[in-house]
Structure 1
Amino acid sequence: MRSHAGFWLKALSQSTIDLSLRTEAGQRTRIVESPGLSLPQAELDALVAQLRIVAAKTLPQESLTYGIFSGEPERLSHAIVTLISEEESGRPIAFNALSVMDVPLDGEPVEVTHLGLVMVDPDVRGQGLSWVLYGLTALVLFARDGLRPKWISNVTQVPSVVGMVCDTFSDVYPSPLPGARQSFAHLQLARGIMARHRSVFGVGAEAGFDEARSVITNAYTGGSDALKKTFEVAPKHRSEIYNDFCARELDYVRGDDVLQLGRIDLAGARRYLLSEVPHGSLPALLAASALLALQRLVLPVVYWLDDSRAFGTLRPRRRAIDRVTGDR
């Protein structure tokens, strides 16, 4: 019984995400987890080339070897890439490259999903892509991991992004919203990220860190130099509370960033679905999330039913001839 059921359920046993869905009319979004490990070299090269097409619209050519643009499998093995393309032409128009970091919390390692680098083709800015680029992948990971709360991090000096993170996720710090506070967990995670993972967001060793405010000072010296903005140029949020917060807390001449930490949980997922996701995109998104949640629930059963491989304390079933002859 275990063997037959395992055969029929193998389709649900994939451990990494490679999901494509229609998020807007005329647009398709692909989410690829750990492409440096999960994709053949030719597909990985094609994906990196698509990222470079988008980045080349806003970054100087010499910056296209930094981080994920290098195409190195090691760098892309810890990334989760969300790529939006035109459905008809296949032209890439925007992407988000998330990273998964192991950070110590209370003496144990926890996974923190860093919201990463977001780039949008200037020709399509203002078309409502933010809900895909900043919240979709976090929601998909939340569903895939059994609706368990997940820590997220974000490094930015852009007021619109600061506000998006505060509005989408739970327990965010720093934030200008009433009740926001820095817990000891926030502080531990921030210290761990700054000590171990500066390269994820291109911050050099010489950058300072104001722990009390969770502000990185002189942040644009470690590979992200071309991303530095003035306050006047940085996209603003529709709520002035976030614009005023960034103007007050950050020195744009020096090049400061906030390091935000928060969580995606049921409350945050509900807010995101109700306030950010267009109604026309909800059915496809809910269907994909349900499938990923089912995958996480079914996967242990698949392993238990499949008697051809070990899983935890379960061992593969020996062949009858092995039991007769005593062979191992």
Structure 2
Amino acid sequence: MSKAGALRLLDTTVGAGPGLYSRIVERPGLGLAPADLEGLIADVRSVAHSVLGDRDLNYGVFSGDPETLSRTVLTVVYEKRSRRPVAFNALAILNADLGGRAVEVLHLGLVMVRPDVRGSGLSATLYGLTCVLLFVRRQCRAVWVSSVTQVPAVVGMVAETFSDVWPGRPAARRSFQHERLARQIMGRWRHAFGVGDEAGFDADRFVITDAYTGGSDELKKTYEAAAKHRDAVYNELCATELDYDRGDDLLQIGQIDMRAAGRYLGKVAPPDTVPGLIGGFALLTIQTALLPLVHWLDHKQPWGSLRAWKT
């Protein structure tokens, strides 16, 4: 059995649109052979060079650090004919705790798309599909997600894709869980997304001040250069809360759950289509019939008052 198989890590290939496919690999530093890992990182760097030219990033997956790659989920999109890598997303798996219980936070991390294929709707694959697959892999338990960005388009995408996101929509509210996770992320994991120790954090607004000092310097943008969202509310949020001259970022925290999975399904397969109807029915069946049984039989996970018997 391969190392990946022994660890039951996700390593799958799925379609990503006309003429494209994506490879999604969970914890490649643990699950891949050295040659395969080297090739995957080379593909990621190839996309980065197409975006940044000769400039290099010196943090995260680009560093080749084994520890970093052991807590990363990589999604790389390729052209089917040429097998040329055209986009990638590097999700970081961050450990935290809530109420004395260990939890994993999926940090949405860095996304890059070759300039010649932008506008082809890859964000649904790079963000939504990867998180949905990981959600299903975790028996459809709600999974916390986080994002650090100064790009209004990304702020809006996160707010509209995931559940209970703060800051996000105007009606969003910050909970104790949001604040608890934010403080842990900033206290323990800022190096995972290239934020230096000298950067500040406004816990009331979830704004990271002077964020581009820990290896992510090349990603700093002006407000005018940052991609805008179709809904002006997210553009206004960023313009109001962030100081682009200083280099601020917004920290967003939310969840991938059944509602978020359903919204993603509705985007890729509208509910008035046959695939959409089938997918919606499948989600309903899983939620109401299959998941309670799966959760009941799994004695390894705590479920509050719903306890499985021990064998």
TM-score (norm 2): 0.85
- SS for the counterpart of 1:248 is helix
Task: Give the structure 2 partner of residue 224 of structure 1.
Answer: 216
Whether 1:78 and 2:57 are equivalent positions in the alignment is: no
Residue in structure 2 matching 1:132, options 120, 125, 130: 125
Listed as ranges, the gaps of 5+ residues in structure 2 are 299-309
Residue in structure 2 matching 1:108, options 91, 101, 114: 101
Distance (whole Å) between structure 1 residues aligned to residue 117 and residue 59 of structure 2: 24
Deviation at 1:14, TM superposition (A): 6.2
Task: Give the structure 2 partner of residue 307 of structure 1.
Answer: none
Matches within 5 A, 1:233-272: 233-272=225-264
- SS for the counterpart of 1:99 is strand
Q: Tell me if the contact between 2:57 and 2:215 (Cα under 8 Å) persists in the aligned partners.
A: no
Deviation at 1:150, TM superposition (A): 0.6
Task: Give the structure 1 partner of residue 62 of structure 2.
Answer: 69
Q: Report the structure number with the largest CA radius of gyration.
A: 1
Residue in structure 2 matching 1:41, options 27, 34, 41: 34
Residue in structure 2 matching 1:189, options 168, 181, 186: 181
Deviation at 1:105, TM superposition (A): 1.7
Deviation at 1:69, TM superposition (A): 1.1
Distance (whole Å) between structure 1 residues aligned to residue 57 and residue 203 of structure 2: 32
Letter in 2 for 1:195: G
- SS for the counterpart of 2:252 is strand
Deviation at 1:182, TM superposition (A): 0.8
Q: Tell me if the contact between 1:105 and 1:188 (Cα under 8 Å) persists in the aligned partners.
A: yes
Q: Tell me if the contact between 1:215 and 1:258 (Cα under 8 Å) persists in the aligned partners.
A: yes
Deviation sequence 1:258-287 (CA, Å, 0-9, x none): 10000111111111110x32569x68x96x
Deviation at 1:199, TM superposition (A): 0.7
Matches within 5 A, 1:306-317: none
Task: State percent identity of aligned pairs.
Answer: 53
Deviation at 1:60, TM superposition (A): 4.8
Distance (whole Å) between structure 2 residues aligned to residue 16 and residue 167 of structure 1: 28
Deviation at 1:133, TM superposition (A): 1.2
Runs of 4+ in 1 over 4 A off after TM superposition: none
Q: Tell me if the contact between 1:34 and 1:79 (Cα under 8 Å) persists in the aligned partners.
A: yes
Distance (whole Å) between structure 1 residues aligned to residue 20 and residue 103 of structure 2: 34
Whether 1:121 and 2:114 are equivalent positions in the alignment is: yes
Q: Tell me if the contact between 2:57 and 2:218 (Cα under 8 Å) persists in the aligned partners.
A: no
- SS for the counterpart of 1:139 is helix
Residue in structure 1 matching 2:156, options 150, 153, 163: 163
Matches within 5 A, 1:141-152: 141-152=134-145
Task: Give the structure 1 partner of residue 268 of structure 2.
Answer: 277
Distance (whole Å) between structure 2 residues aligned to residue 93 and residue 141 of structure 1: 22
Listed as ranges, the gaps of 5+ residues in structure 1 are 1-11, 302-312, 315-328
Residue in structure 1 matching 2:202, options 199, 210, 214: 210
Distance (whole Å) between structure 1 residues aligned to residue 152 and residue 57 of structure 2: 25
Deviation sequence 1:275-307 (CA, Å, 0-9, x none): x32569x68x96xx99xx99x959x89xxxxxx
Letter in 2 for 1:265: D
Deviation at 1:25, TM superposition (A): 1.3
Distance (whole Å) between structure 2 residues aligned to residue 55 and residue 79 of structure 1: 17
Distance (whole Å) between structure 2 residues aligned to residue 155 and residue 44 of structure 1: 26
Distance (whole Å) between structure 2 residues aligned to residue 211 and residue 63 of structure 1: 31
Q: Tell me if the contact between 2:57 and 2:216 (Cα under 8 Å) persists in the aligned partners.
A: no
Q: Tell me if the contact between 1:83 and 1:94 (Cα under 8 Å) persists in the aligned partners.
A: yes
More off after superposition, 197-206 vs 13-22: 13-22
Letter in 1 for 2:33: P
Task: Give the structure 2 partner of residue 323 of structure 1.
Answer: none
Cα gap change, 1:226/1:269 in structure 2, threshold over 3 Å: closer, same or farther? same
Q: Tell me if the contact between 2:16 and 2:122 (Cα under 8 Å) persists in the aligned partners.
A: no
Deviation sequence 1:140-179 (CA, Å, 0-9, x none): 011111111110000000000000011011110011x242
Deviation sequence 1:82-112 (CA, Å, 0-9, x none): 1100011100000000011011222332110
Distance (whole Å) between structure 2 residues aligned to residue 191 and residue 140 of structure 1: 27
TM-score (norm 1): 0.81
Distance (whole Å) between structure 1 residues aligned to residue 69 and residue 226 of structure 2: 28
Letter in 2 for 1:131: A
Deviation at 1:13, TM superposition (A): 7.8
Task: Give the structure 2 partner of residue 24 of structure 1.
Answer: 17
Deviation sequence 1:121-142 (CA, Å, 0-9, x none): 0111111111111211110011
Deviation at 1:58, TM superposition (A): 1.8
RCO higher in structure (CA 8 A, sep ≥6):
1
Distance (whole Å) between structure 1 residues aligned to residue 15 and residue 240 of structure 2: 39
Residue in structure 2 matching 1:179, options 160, 165, 171: 171
Distance (whole Å) between structure 2 residues aligned to residue 72 and residue 195 of structure 1: 21
